[in-house]
Structures are given as structure tokens and as C-alpha cells.
Amino acid sequence: MTPNILTTVFALSGISGLLAVLLVIAERFLANYGECKVTINDDKELIVQGGSTLLTTLGSEKIFLPSACGGRGTCAYCKCKVVEGAGPVLPTEAPMLTPDDVKNNIRLACQVKVKQDFRIEIPEELFNIKEFKSTITSIRDLTYDIKLVRFELDDPNEISFKPGQYIQVYTEPYGDVKESISRAYSIASPHTEKSYIDLMIRLVPDGICTTWVHQHVSEQQRVKLVGPMGDFYVRDGDGEMIMIAGGSGMAPFVPILHDMKNRGVKRKVTYFFGAVSKRDLFYIDEMKALEQELADFTFVPALSEPAPDDNWDGETGLITQPLANYIRERDMSNAHAYLCGSPGMIHACIIILNKYGITEDRIFFDPFS
Amino acid sequence: MEHLSPWVIFFASIFTGNILLTYFLGMCSFLSVSSQVKTSLGLGLAVTFVLTVTSALNYVVFDYILEPLHIEYLRYIAFIIVIAAAVQLIEMVIERVSEVLYINLGIFLPLITVNCAILGVSLFMVIRNYSFIQSVMFGLGSGLGWTLAILSMAGIRQRLNEKRIPPALQGAGIALIISGIMAMAFIGFAGMVQIQ
């Protein structure tokens, strides 16, 4: 009986082993797509190992397309234009593509696989998104609850961004928070300074990232950043610019105004800044200086509840008050409005802007969320 | 069965002894993937490929390994291992050749492994004592016969989409009735050639 059992075992193992070897060889030839060339915007060429999805392939080359669903084809954020190489539309992407998308070769990067040379087009802004290793070199109090944090970029050591864009900060686990999370902050340093970025981070009660930055982080902390992202930047035009911000919503306007000063832009700019009381105001001196340096810039701070000893003689009330008073009397048919602050503030201001003649297509905003 | 010409076996396994419509093997994917002609054709060709390859491989495995070692009773498990490997191979081929077909076939592609038509053909070939050439032609013919059956079914079902079917019979119900009628038509040929 024993020889019989042994024969059985050897025969079956032999057959299975032989087939396994055959499959491994087949895989070397069939599932190996070799090196493929991905040409981006007819400009940059990447040599990549074929066989993975476009999204992962680009990710491994440190080009980050937005993706919220993690490559399952349900969020459609990773849409991009594939000029050549993708083959017919797949059943898994069809529900996410409009007829216009199909006509324009728009595909879901998370579904399309790189099996041959690709030519794709992605917006330059995305092309620019990188993962940075950085070190915190200074943390300064702007107000009692807003800190200005400087991140020196280590690798890569330079960033180029449009004034008004934001960057994602990745926290490290601390205390009860066991996972790394990411939060977006507008860059508050001039875009001409490429070796570091400043972020204005306000302490939000129970906020994971803000608590980390305010209470657990010190100088020399290494931080991962991914960016720049966002389409909150100044659009061309010659009409007046209305800027509205509250609290740390100041951040994107610092590089925006700095850039306008550098380029000698002559547009009329009125900047409404909302705070609770005097202890929430910051960068006042910088703004006063900009009023001198820019061609036509007015800074209008407004306090909603000035403390008795603030001796406040400026605007009082919610920011919507001075805003309405100002635009009611002026011609706003060419004006653009830029808003950054809490969703509530932005919502209230948009109602006022609409009411006095600034239509949605000329309003640009960046809500905290 | 030495006397049968391989060509007779080939045509007989397509028309008179259709693996699906006379032996009712491989019904599962036949009923579930037959809604579109294009996908059915893809699956049919995949099944044909796997059938041809596995009947050849299984013949070798049976005649040169199992029989000399007197372990014929292992043929079920040995055949299934060979089939599984062949399906793996065809999966790679399809993914390379047509991503669309690969996604459309979805789970039914790996499920060819447990398509009973394929194990059935290998077992018939042993029972009927076919030679190597006869076995390969039997495998190829059975595959094409299966493709023919699923293609006709898909064609009929596509036209059925525009017809009014009583609600109780929609879907699987009408599909089973159609396959029954198709099977009766094929059984009509069954007496013409005897291959077993």
C-alpha cells in the first residue's frame, strides 16, 4: 500500500509542479508588458514598467492625480485626457464618463492600464503636485490661537506654486490618534520664496491636525507635505477685486497681494478682513505697508465684538456689514470677488455679493472644511 | 473507437453530440453570459481554447502518467489541476489582448475552471478510449459546439429584448425554455452519427 500512496503523491505533485513552472514562464512573457513610455503634455517623458493602472504608474513617478475612492472607479476625480494608448472605453469607466468626455478622450486613470506607450494630457497644476519632505524651522504666534509655521523643504528642496494654492500637511500619530491624516492649508508665504512655505494654522478645538501642530510639534519636526493644489488664484481682469477673509483665511491673500505688488498690478483692491476682537487681528502692519506699496489697495478690518479696552474705532459688526455698505454704492459689473474663510462666512458673503451685482462666475472661494 | 475518423468526431461533437445541448454540460455560464453576442463569442472562444488545450494535456497526463502508474482513479483531480492551469493561462492571454473582453467576462473567466463541459470532455475522452488526435478534435469540436450554442442563445436573447414576455417568465425562465427547445432541435440530429 505504501508505494501506492507515494506514487500518488509524487504523480500529483509532479503534474502540479510542472504546470506551475509553465505558468511562471507564461507569465514572464504574457503578463510582462515591458517598459512603456508615458508622454505627458508632449513635454515630459517617463519610462515606466507596464502592467499597472495609469494612476498607480503616475503615482510611483511622484505625479499625483486627485483620487478619493482609492482607484475603485467611483469618484471620477482621476479623470485625465489620454490622447494615445488607452484602447477602447472599459465597462468599468463608462458610467463615469459623459459623451463629451468620451469624445475628448477623457478616461479614468485608475481603470486604464499602461500596456503600451501612452500620450496623456494633465493640467500643469497637477503635474506640479509633489510629495515634499520638510522640517519645521519656526513656529510663531500670530494671535492667541493662530500660529505661523515655517516648513523648510528638504526633498525636493524647491516648490513652485500659484499664489492662493494650498498644500496638504500629513500629521504623525500622537496620543490617541493612531493614524496619519492629512489636512489642507493655504500657503501664506510669497511664491517667490521657493525653499520654504509658511502656513497659518488656527487651533480648532478637537481638530486632529491643528491640535498636533499647536500642542505636539516643535521645531525640527519632520513633516510630509503634498501639493500644491487648488484653483484659488487670481484670474486676469481689470475690474476691481474684492477680497474677503476671516481668521486664518488671511493666508492665501498674503502671497496673492505680494505677487500683485511684485508685478506692479494697478487693479483696485479692497480687502475685508473679519475678526472677533483686537486680539484676533494680525498682519495689520504688513497690510498697512501694502496700502502704501500697491497702486490702489484698501484694507478694511472689521471686529464683530470688540473688547471694551480695544479702543476700536474701525468697522464693527460681521464682515457682511462693511461689505454691503461698500459695494452697494459702487459699480460692480466688472469686479471679481475672492473669499477665504469658514463656510458660513463665505455663504453669507456670496448672498451679499450676488445681491449687489457680482455674479457666481466672478466669485472665487476657498472654504475651510 | 479506433475506427472513427477524427473529422467525424469533430463534426459530430459540434452538431449531433453537442456537449451543451445534448449532454447539458456547462449550463451555468451558458445561461448567465448569453445576454450579448459579443461577450458570448469571447467566452465561447475562451472555452474552445481551454477545451482543446486541456483535452490534449489531459490525454498526455492520463496515458503517460496515470495509466502506467495504475492510478487512473486520480483522473478527476489531475484533470481539474490541468484545467485550472490552462484557465490561468487564457486569463493572461485575454487580459493582454482585450481589456474590454477581460472586464466583460469578469468572474466567468476564472469560472471556466469549474465549467463542467471541460471536465466532461476530458472524462468522455477517457471513457470512449479516443486516440490523441481523436481527443484533440473532440475537444476542439466540443468547444466550437459550445460556442455555437451560446452564440445562438445570445442572438435569440438579444431579439427577445424587444419582445413582450410574461413577467413570470422573464430572465432565467424564458432562457431555460429556449434552451429546452434548442436542445430538442439538436437531439433531432443525434441519431445521425454515433461517436460513443
The Cα–Cα gap between B105 and A73 comes to 18
pLDDT reported for residue A68: 61
How far off is chain B from A358, nearest CA to CA, in Å? 48
Cα separation, A132 vs A155, in Å, equals 6
Residue A62's pLDDT is: 78
Q: Which residues contact B50 (CB under 8 A, 6 or more apart)?
A: B83, B86, B87, B90, B112, B118, B143
pLDDT confidence of residue A295: 84
Is B66 within 8 Å of A11 when comparing Cβ atoms?
A: yes
Which residues have C-beta within 8 Å of that of residue B180, sequence separation ≥ 6? none
User: What pLDDT was estimated at residue A2?
Assistant: 65
Contact A87 B99 (CB under 8 A): yes
Interface with A, mutate which of B99, B105, B122 (most A CBs under 10 A): B99
How many CA atoms, within 13 angstroms, populate the side-chain half-sphere of residue A47? 2
**Grid coordinates representing A101?**
468626455
Contact A258, A189 (CB under 8 A): no
- What three-state secondary structure class fits A66? coil
Q: Which helix (H) or strand (E) holds B128?
A: none
Contacts of B71 in chain A (CB under 8 A): 4, 7-8, 11
Q: Give the gyration radius of chain A's Cα atoms.
A: 27
Tell me what the pLDDT averaged over chain B comes to: 87
Rounded Cα distance between B57 and A181, Å, is 54
Q: Which of B54, B65, B76, B109 to mutate to test the interface with A (most CBs of A within 10 A)?
A: B65
Residues contacting B23, CB < 8 A, separation 6+: B17, B117, B120
Split at pLDDT 50, 70, 90, the class of B32 is confident
**Nearest CA to A115 among A205, A23, A36?**
A36
Most B CBs within 10 Å: which of A10, A12, A21, A25, as the mutation test of the B interface? A12
Burial class (CB in 10 A: 0-12, 13-18, 19+), B38: exposed
Residue B144 has pLDDT above 90, yes or no: yes
Q: Give the Cα separation of A108 and A111 in Å (integer).
A: 6
C-alpha cell at B157: 436573447
User: Which residue in chain B has the smallest CA separation from A112?
Assistant: B99
**Which grid coordinates belong to B62?**
492520463
Interface contact A15-B81, CB threshold 8 A? yes
- Supply A156's cell numbers: 525636493
Residue with cell 507515494: A6
For the stretch A252-301, pLDDT in tens is 999 999 998 888 888 899 999 999 888 889 998 889 998 988 888 999 99
Interchain proximity A92–B103, CB inside 8 Å: yes
Cell numbers linked to B140: 476542439
Q: Please say whether the beta carbons of A124 and A178 come within 8 A.
A: no
CB atoms within 10 A of CB A359: 11
The shortest C-alpha distance from A108 to chain B (Å) reads 14
Any chain A CB within 8 A of the CB of B89? yes
ipTM of the complex: 0.75
Q: How many CB pairs under 8 A join A and B?
A: 56
Q: Which residue of A has its CA nearest to B58?
A: A15
Distance from CA of A60 to the nearest CA of B (A): 22
Q: Which candidate from A7, A22, A90 shows the least CB-CB separation from B71?
A: A7
DSSP state letter for A346? H
From B65, B95, B100, residue closest to A15, measured CB to CB: B65
Question: In this complex, is the C-beta atom of B177 within 8 Å of any C-beta atom belonging to chain A?
Answer: no
pLDDT at B1 over 60: no
**Chain B residues with beta carbon closer than 8 angstroms to that of A21:** none
B60 in contact with A at a CB cutoff of 8 Å? no
Q: E strands within chain A?
A: 35-40, 44-49, 79-84, 106-108, 118-121, 130-141, 146-155, 166-170, 182-186, 196-202, 222-229, 241-246, 269-275, 297-303, 315-316, 336-341, 363-367
Q: Does B61 touch chain A (CB under 8 A)?
A: yes
Distant-in-sequence, close-in-space partners of A288: CB < 8 Å, separation ≥ 6 = A299
Please answer yes or no on whether B85 and A22 come within 8 Å at the CB atom: yes
Query: Which residue type does A113 have?
Result: K
Classify the phi-psi angles of A365: left when phi > 0, otherwise alpha if psi is within -120 to 50, otherwise beta.
beta
Among A4, A26, A113, select the one facing B99 at the smallest CB separation. Answer: A113
Question: What whole-number distance in Å separates Cα of residue B122 and Cα of residue A195?
Answer: 70
C-beta neighbour count of B195 within 10 angstroms: 19
Closest CA relative to residue A165, chosen from A140, A188, A146? A188
For residue A262, the one-letter residue type is N
Q: Report, as ranges of residue numbers, the positions in chain A whose pLDDT lies below 50.
A: none
Q: Which three cell numbers stand for residue A181?
A: 491624516
Contact B104 A92 (CB under 8 A): no
**CA-based nearest distance B78→chain A, Å:** 7
- Cβ within 8 Å, pair B96-A91: no
Can you tell me the distance from the alpha carbon of B6 to that of B52, in angstroms, rounded to the nearest whole number? 14
User: Cell for A83?
Assistant: 490622447
CB atoms within 10 A of CB B114: 14
Using 50, 70 and 90 to split pLDDT, how confident is the model at B195?
low
Question: B104: which chain A residues are within 8 Å (Cβ-Cβ)?
Answer: 91
pLDDT at B196: 61
The residue among A131, A115, A111, A156 whose CA lies nearest residue A64 is A131
Nearest chain A CA: its distance from B23 CA (Å): 29
Residue B119 Cα, gap to closest chain A Cα (Å): 17
pLDDT of B147 > 90? The answer is yes
CB-nearest to A11 from B71, B89, B100 is B71
A350 alpha carbon, distance to own chain's centre: 22
Cell reading at A191: 511664491
Q: What is the pLDDT of residues B81-139, one digit of tens each?
A: 999 998 988 888 888 888 777 877 777 788 888 888 999 999 999 999 999 999 999 99
Please indicate if any CB of chain B lies within 8 Å of the CB of A19.
yes
8 Å CB contact of B100 and A12? no
- The neighbouring-strand residues paired with A363 are A337
Q: What's the confidence (pLDDT) of residue B171?
A: 80
